[in-house]
A and B are shown apart, each in its own frame.
Chain A
């Protein structure tokens, strides 16, 4: 198992037409231990997905570097499995073929690849649907296939980019349990991008709270609560409150920028209110 070192990473987008450049974040440094479950939490636009893409090798950092073990990340590789917000399954392949698709580069033996694929589909409780096409599966099932596909490559690190963002609450709760189970079972390092505070507390060992303008890490919260975690326990609620107090300010910043003069601080102050459900779907 290998550590992930993020060293002084900076990402700047250049707009060639307008001669502008926009720095999403700079100087982000973070070390993730093997087997750790880390959440990147922040308002939209803070660059949490960008950071994940840099770790995945899909995006290039403007400055700094990401090391997995002692190898520098330059391109995507099968040591880092990625689960996106959309399942991104190949629509012309069945669930089983989609998982095999991920194995083709790694495992030349067809029968062995099939065996592996079935094993991972079983792990996400989809053995009944291995011959279904993606359009025949529900959103939650598709996402489970995507997780099986990422796991099948047996990556050391699993990168999840708001994997449950597009799912309904019930499905999401179910998949939280499943991810927890998979994490305990496989002992993978998981880096999990989310904007849902409760989701982050429920699952992670550590929560990295990111902010915007300037983008960067605001605070890192270790979560020491025993698992399985209960969202109604006082410690849980306290932590949620703590994170919200900082995140709320960040969200306000984003909203102020987006809305300009339309921004109404009274409406925004609802975010600090006692109705916690509001914070869930920011």
Chain B
């Protein structure tokens, strides 16, 4: 139980940070061409590195504690969030921007009032992916690092307690289900209905 709350605490902090950092990066890349050509390429490169690969480096930099696990979780979630936010910003219909320009909106207002609201649907897709990646990263990091469900899982393996191993796997999938059905589905449904994107 302690392990569970520890894991959940980590995932929420990590997920929140990933969403915030990812959104900011994505907006920046979406708005500025220079940022896209420099940071954008870097993000694509980093995205292809599985976040768990960062753990040894993180342990050296941040010590073996919770900080390095959190670091890996944030990294896992940030890139999909960034890429989706960027895509949302790039795919804003140009006609909306032209229309807003005829109403006297200037460049920074276009970003805030048109481009960001228009990319909310893809931001939600990004958040969903970020959650999945962050969750995987957390489990992997905990297997190697300290504390949380992952550690308990490893301990159970060491004692050859397979019942516990399977129980933890079930807990992991239940948490995934809860997030999917109670959080993302609901938000997505509301947003898609409002944006007129749902087919139902």
Chain A residues in the interface with B (C-beta under 8 A): 56-58, 76-78, 80-82, 84, 86, 88, 90-92, 101-102, 104-106, 133-136, 149-150, 153
Contacts and interface: CB of A to CB of B under 8 A. Distances in A.
A191 to B, nearest CB: 13
Nearest to A98: B99
28 contacts: A58-B98, A58-B101, A76-B103, A78-B102, A81-B102, A82-B99, A84-B95, A84-B98, A86-B95, A88-B93, A88-B95, A88-B96, A88-B99, A91-B118, A91-B196, A92-B118, A92-B120, A92-B194, A101-B113, A102-B103, A104-B103, A106-B104, A134-B196, A135-B196, A135-B197, A136-B196, A149-B103, A150-B102
Nearest to B103: A102
A101 B93 CA distance: 17
A82 B102 contact: yes
B65 interface: no
Contacts of A150: 102
Contacts of B87: none
Task: Among B103, B113, B196, find the residue whose CB has the most chain A CB atoms closer than 10 A.
Answer: B103
Interface in B145-195: 194-195
Contact of B118 (A82, A90, A134): A90
Contacts of B98: 58, 82, 84, 88
A76 B196 contact: no
Contacts of B101: 58, 76
A135 B120 CA distance: 17
Contacts of A88: 93, 95-96, 98-99
Contacts, number: 59
Contacts of B95: 84, 86, 88
Given A84-B95, A84-B99, A90-B117, A105 B194 contact: no
Contacts of A56: 102
Contacts of A104: 103
A102 B93 CA distance: 17
Interface string B78-109: 00000000000000010110111111110000
Contacts of A76: 101-104
B99 A91 contact: no
B195 A92 contact: yes
Nearest to A159: B102
A76 B101 CA distance: 6
A78 B99 CA distance: 11
B114 interface: yes
A11 to B, nearest CB: 17
A39 B96 CA distance: 24
A12 to B, nearest CB: 21
B194 A77 contact: no
A77 B114 contact: no
Task: Among A56, A90, A101, find the residue whose CB has the most chain B CB atoms closer than 10 A.
Answer: A90
B77 to A, nearest CB: 25
Given A86-B95, A90-B114, A90-B118, A153 B194 contact: no
A86 B96 CA distance: 10
A105 B195 CA distance: 24
A91 B198 CA distance: 12
Contacts of A105: 103-105
A56 B117 CA distance: 25
Given A88-B95, A91-B195, A135-B196, A153 B118 contact: no
